[in-house]
Chains A and B, each alone.
Chain A
């Protein structure tokens, strides 16, 4: 091979590089280690994390059983080690599963069309806001304080340089739902998008219908966000939404300390061309057989470059496939039963505590902690090998005496009883 390349040694292949750019020492990294040592290294790190704790954390990342089938399917080399399906003839496996994914997301959210995934729920929010800006020709975004705080931070980062002013509107202290009067005061003819989350960050089923009505009256679009996908198994989909931006981590995606997850954007037919991200469409091959391919690519960066609807290229295909397998395993009945179990568990726990808000909730709720701080309560729980809820003071100073608790089908009665014992 060296002969064919016309060199005497591989080093000569780099001789054309200017001397000044060359690294003239070895990289200061330890030499390579064996498979066994690598496994041990990560086992040791895992041992330094929480192991064998029950957890009542939600707040955008949820503990749900992962059906065994999920890893079986995504471990197939054809799914794991294949590329973006640009060459349709040899990617029908990936393309078909994405088409099924898009369909199921539409069925769950009640929207007409869904894309093949965004990085996560948090980045789907600014993408949705930018979509609304394109569709309405307006610039401003209004976002509820009850949308996940880190999602709001991401929107702020993106919006800053888009010429998109962002304003927040509050929540009603008793119910924990959006403050419609505050929204009414702030919405105007410059508003492109009104962004609400349901169930919201406090776990409460929010006033999506009322928000839709208010937004549409002023010519703005309604963006509905969700972070707990299992809620779609039982909750009425957001009928008035123009764009749904959500997070699918609940669907067999490991919490994995924050990622990778999979976001989605789903919308109405009329906004298709404003949608970011990849889309798979149905067509035929030259023999007349049904086939799938990436389509409407002219929205995307590899064609439109600076006029693209987004800069997104790589998305979260394998993660979306995990969600697809999850949705298949549970199916129509299973998602409903799963959601009902979540509802039962969380309401059992809430029944023993003091929910801060009177609004209706799914599997998360805010509990007031009396007689001690939420941090102290959590310290006591840790001694029982339980990770308690999220103390809200870090995001909502007015709720510093409360914590956000989540119970799912994985939460056991005796663990919930232990939590109640410490918190009461």
Chain B
């Protein structure tokens, strides 16, 4: 029985270009207080454009209605649980939005004098210190714009250190359960990728690792807990194996929501890791970004961090550009400062004890879901899970129902789907991460929905295969979208 949603009228809305009418406007600029200039004379006739063909022309009311109507076609965390595994879809505190817009912070130009930027610099310093403490590492760079960007930075740091030691080496080991950004990053950093298989308990096969680590291996990229939500219990031994051969341990910090306040990567042998502020630290996903991907390192890697670094000069903060071993910039300016502000607000609001509580709740919620759904869905790995749990669709596949179908049917129950078909080592994966945000009531509704769908798979599989039914848009034809790409609107 579907209890979370009921149908409702949603407004139709065409594209802006279909709403447009010549002469409509939604703006008003002040009068010019200086003489106007002739564009053709000033820029040269050949440089002046005729008009912006087909650009929208709508009124203010049409603008607000357009975007408001479109917004109602989205699901969001504000509507309910988003069980997406490895995405950590926790509540996005509104105070983050307020403080990020504080005028002196929002209007700060990155090139304004340092003496007039002490507030921003203090915020960055505070963030670096907080993240270093949370991760147990020695130094932090806030420059990378997202997780993948942080991964690239981290691998480039490893390369720089190994180069300084005489040999950058050739390959990076990546578990077959890893997120796609890991091998993509290794390739951009100029390394070959070698896959390492997981054991039957779902963790890294230490024996296999021992065999694979040789003088050509620069690093192992590990996610901990891994993408099955399982803690890599041999991580200290793994680090030892790598270090003994002069290789390094990179940790993808996407799953930090299971560790904050409980365990610190720096304490279990990690040399460098990135964090996803838009996951663990509550900054909003905004439909796909922005994020921030700070990178935390052990002392040995500190000299190679992107320049500039923050430095204390007497009572003030300053940027230090004299970093001759730096790998260089990975981005202009200093990082996604606005995202850092939001993450710092989150850290300040929770404090040390609060951050730890959040972790405990996140794990409790995921284990609860596991226990309740175990009787209905195949659990490929029996190991204890942390903040997320991965089922497979094996049981339902026998009835012709795959994880993608179940996901679409979950939409009819009023939830956003979990992560489908990832990690790749589980056949037909259902990856569920509730986060600490969800209370028991929402969790129970989710569990009931999943159990109901498991029953439907036996009694009425067709309703699952053709789902979703209740949405404004029914199942979308992704095949035609890829065969005949239409990537922009064009006038008839």
| B and A form one assembly | yes
Q: Give chain B residues whose Cβ lies under 8 Å from the Cβ of A97.
A: 67, 70, 287
Q: Given contacts A10-B364, A29-B352, A281-B481, is CB(A344)–CB(B290) below 8 Å? A: no
Q: Give chain A residues whose Cβ lies under 8 Å from the Cβ of B179.
A: 302, 313
Tell me if B102 and A289 are in contact (CB < 8 A): no
In the complex, which residue of chain A has the Cβ closest to the Cβ of B224?
A21
Tell me if B43 and A360 are in contact (CB < 8 A): yes
Tell me if A285 and B188 are in contact (CB < 8 A): no
Q: Give chain A residues whose Cβ lies under 8 Å from the Cβ of B97.
A: 75, 80
Distance in angstroms from B201 CB to nearest chain A CB is: 12
Q: Give chain A residues whose Cβ lies under 8 Å from the Cβ of B63.
A: 69, 325, 328-329
**Among the listed B148, B306, B355, which residue makes an inter-chain contact with A311, where contact means beta carbons less than 8 Å apart?**
B148
The digit string for A231-243, where 1 denotes a CB below 8 A from any CB of B, is 0111111000000
The digit string for A1-26, where 1 denotes a CB below 8 A from any CB of B, is 11011100011011011101111001
Distance in angstroms from A399 CB to nearest chain B CB is: 15
Q: Give chain B residues whose Cβ lies under 8 Å from the Cβ of A313.
A: 146-148, 179-181
Distance in angstroms from B404 CB to nearest chain A CB is: 10
B9 within 8 Å of A (CB atoms): no
Q: Given contacts A284-B480, A325-B67, A333-B57, is CB(A45)–CB(B120) below 8 Å? A: yes
Tell me if A306 and B186 are in contact (CB < 8 A): yes
**Among the listed B72, B103, B263, B332, which residue makes an inter-chain contact with A46, where contact means beta carbons less than 8 Å apart?**
B103
Q: Give chain A residues whose Cβ lies under 8 Å from the Cβ of B91.
A: 81
A134 within 8 Å of B (CB atoms): no
A174 within 8 Å of B (CB atoms): no
Q: Give chain B residues whose Cβ lies under 8 Å from the Cβ of A281.
A: 481-482, 485-487
B198 within 8 Å of A (CB atoms): no
**Among the listed B332, B352, B475, B477, which residue makes an inter-chain contact with A28, where contact means beta carbons less than 8 Å apart?**
B352
A91–B417 Cα distance when bound, in Å, is 12
A171 within 8 Å of B (CB atoms): no
Q: Give chain B residues whose Cβ lies under 8 Å from the Cβ of A154.
A: 328-332
A334–B103 Cα distance when bound, in Å, is 25
Tell me if B184 and A50 are in contact (CB < 8 A): no
In the complex, which residue of chain A has the Cβ closest to the Cβ of B118?
A48
Tell me if B47 and A306 are in contact (CB < 8 A): no
- List CB contacts (< 8 Å) of B419-442 with chain A: 422, 440
Residue of B110, B335, B360 contacting most chain A CB atoms (<10 Å): B110
Q: Give chain A residues whose Cβ lies under 8 Å from the Cβ of B335.
A: 258-259
Q: Give chain B residues whose Cβ lies under 8 Å from the Cβ of A59.
A: 111
A335–B335 Cα distance when bound, in Å, is 29
The digit string for B243-271, where 1 denotes a CB below 8 A from any CB of A, is 00000000000000000111110011000
- List CB contacts (< 8 Å) of A225-274 with chain B: 232-237, 254-260, 262, 272
Q: Give chain A residues whose Cβ lies under 8 Å from the Cβ of B46.
A: 236
Interface contact tally, CB-CB below 8 A: 638
Q: Given contacts A1-B364, A84-B285, A318-B284, is CB(A312)–CB(B349) below 8 Å? A: no
Tell me if A31 and B368 are in contact (CB < 8 A): no
Q: Given contacts A51-B104, A331-B26, A334-B27, is CB(A13)–CB(B481) below 8 Å? A: no
B1 within 8 Å of A (CB atoms): no
Q: Give chain A residues whose Cβ lies under 8 Å from the Cβ of B285.
A: 81-84, 317
A360–B57 Cα distance when bound, in Å, is 30
Distance in angstroms from B106 CB to nearest chain A CB is: 4
Between A and B, 26 residue pairs with Cβ closer than 8 Å are A5-B367, A18-B233, A23-B262, A30-B348, A31-B353, A35-B95, A42-B105, A42-B123, A51-B104, A57-B111, A69-B60, A69-B64, A98-B287, A100-B17, A235-B47, A257-B337, A260-B292, A301-B184, A302-B180, A311-B148, A313-B146, A317-B286, A318-B286, A319-B290, A362-B43, A387-B109
Tell me if B108 and A257 are in contact (CB < 8 A): yes
- List CB contacts (< 8 Å) of B93-120 with chain A: 95, 97-113, 116-120
In the complex, which residue of chain B has the Cβ closest to the Cβ of A339?
B39
Distance in angstroms from B78 CB to nearest chain A CB is: 3
A344–B148 Cα distance when bound, in Å, is 42
Distance in angstroms from B445 CB to nearest chain A CB is: 14
B162 within 8 Å of A (CB atoms): no
Given A91-B287, A92-B73, A154-B328, 8 more pairs with CB closer than 8 A? A13-B364, A22-B263, A42-B123, A49-B120, A50-B117, A80-B284, A161-B156, A235-B48
B407 within 8 Å of A (CB atoms): yes
In the complex, which residue of chain B has the Cβ closest to the Cβ of A90?
B75
Tell me if A26 and B478 are in contact (CB < 8 A): no
- List CB contacts (< 8 Å) of A83-99 with chain B: 83-85, 87-94, 96-99
The digit string for B25-57, where 1 denotes a CB below 8 A from any CB of A, is 111011011111101001110111101111111
A312–B250 Cα distance when bound, in Å, is 18
Tell me if A233 and B352 are in contact (CB < 8 A): no
- List CB contacts (< 8 Å) of B139-182 with chain A: 145-149, 151-152, 156, 159, 179-181
Tell me if B117 and A153 are in contact (CB < 8 A): no
Tell me if A17 and B58 are in contact (CB < 8 A): no
A154–B136 Cα distance when bound, in Å, is 29
Q: Give chain B residues whose Cβ lies under 8 Å from the Cβ of A306.
A: 183-184, 186-187, 193
The digit string for A343-387, where 1 denotes a CB below 8 A from any CB of B, is 111011000000000001010000000000000001000100001
Tell me if B333 and A344 are in contact (CB < 8 A): no
Tell me if B411 and A83 are in contact (CB < 8 A): no
In the complex, which residue of chain A has the Cβ closest to the Cβ of B279?
A314
A337–B39 Cα distance when bound, in Å, is 11
Tell me if A235 and B49 are in contact (CB < 8 A): yes
Tell me if B332 and A314 are in contact (CB < 8 A): no
A45–B181 Cα distance when bound, in Å, is 36
